[in-house]
Amino acid sequence: MTTKRDFVKTITATIASLLLAGVAQADPVAQLSYDYDPAIRTPVPIPQSERHLQAATAELWFSVPGGGRTLEGACLDKAGNLFFTDTTEQRVLKLTPDKKLTVLAKFKDFKPAGMAIDKSGRLFVAAMDLPHQKGVVLSMNPDGSDIKTELAASAGYVPDDLVFDKAGNFYFADFRGLSSVGSGGVYYFDRASKKVTTILPNMAKANGIALSPDGKTLWVTEYARNKLHRVELQDATHIMPVGSTTAYYFTGPAPDSMRIDADGNLYVAMHRQGRFLVFDPVGLPIGQILIPGRDQGQYMRSTSMVVDPQSKDCWLLAGDGDEGTRAAIFRSKALAHGFNLNR
């Protein structure tokens, strides 16, 4: 007579045999397969979490002669002249609205990076000597004359970018550190007293920097840790008690320079991704601008952009760096007009 226990044992053994037979007959390749679609077969695929964002593709506006190089520091004057830096050749350049290119200055000891224009129209240039971990902030007339040192190398910083506040002083990003060593940061420079005040210490290669239209929110990208910081200011040199947050964590090659529009939207260059991410005023991703050729590995060093205060036109800088033959300025549309708190 079959007992209940024997029946359970028989059923259990049968089920186990069927499961083992199924595993033995299953195709091991099929079990391990996953989609290898075109969207992930590009040199730098757009992360899954950002593919749904609305996207615009920029158009080529001007090819910078001289082959592969890295461009930085895009800014516009009131006449619509575009100023930018060529870090590869250590130059500051000017491009007129009718596309006439002029070299304004060439540096010997430092590579120019981020730039900003003050109320008087002078260009301020953050310039670095990365091998020796030092840097300066220089200023010059719009024609490249009368170069002056604003922040000397002896101060011990490696300035990568800067932004003016309404008082005419500026915040700058210190590009020191490693992903595991936060020796850089964000600082405030008072031009009258030459005093430097620490705002955000212990950062790993602070890079892009921007101020909201009301001057109350400071944005910073942390290149070596893939972070976007949102800082609510109590005044020029003090953060609100709960005002410092990490608004976003980036995926893949790192965030570079930033610009802001009149509505407070933020545009972040994604270095080595050939694109720019767009964030709303609280730091939520809402769009992206793609550089043509990125799917073929071209113009991947997207580094800087600027939005025209008189329109929604924006100019974006990208190139191949030392790895290719291209460097160019692209044009697209921003969500709102450009904005400069200092102007």
Catalytic residues: 256
- What does DSSP assign to residue 334? -
Q: Which tokens is 161 given?
A: 């970018």
Residues 299/246, Cβ–Cβ less than 8 Å:
no
Q: Which tokens is 328 given?
A: 């160019």
Cα(224)–Cα(175) distance, rounded to whole angstroms? 9
Burial 204-237 (b: 16+ CB within 10 A, else e): bbbbbbbbbbebebbbbbbbbbbbbbbbebeebe
Cα(303)–Cα(160) distance, rounded to whole angstroms? 12
| Side chain identity, residue 88 | T
What is the CB neighbour count within 10 angstroms for residue 246?
Answer: 12
Compute the half-sphere exposure of residue 136: CA atoms within 13 Å on the CB side of its CA: 15
Distances in Å between the alpha carbon of 268 and those of 49, 257, 275, 339?
17, 6, 9, 15
For tokens 């009258």, what's the residue? 192
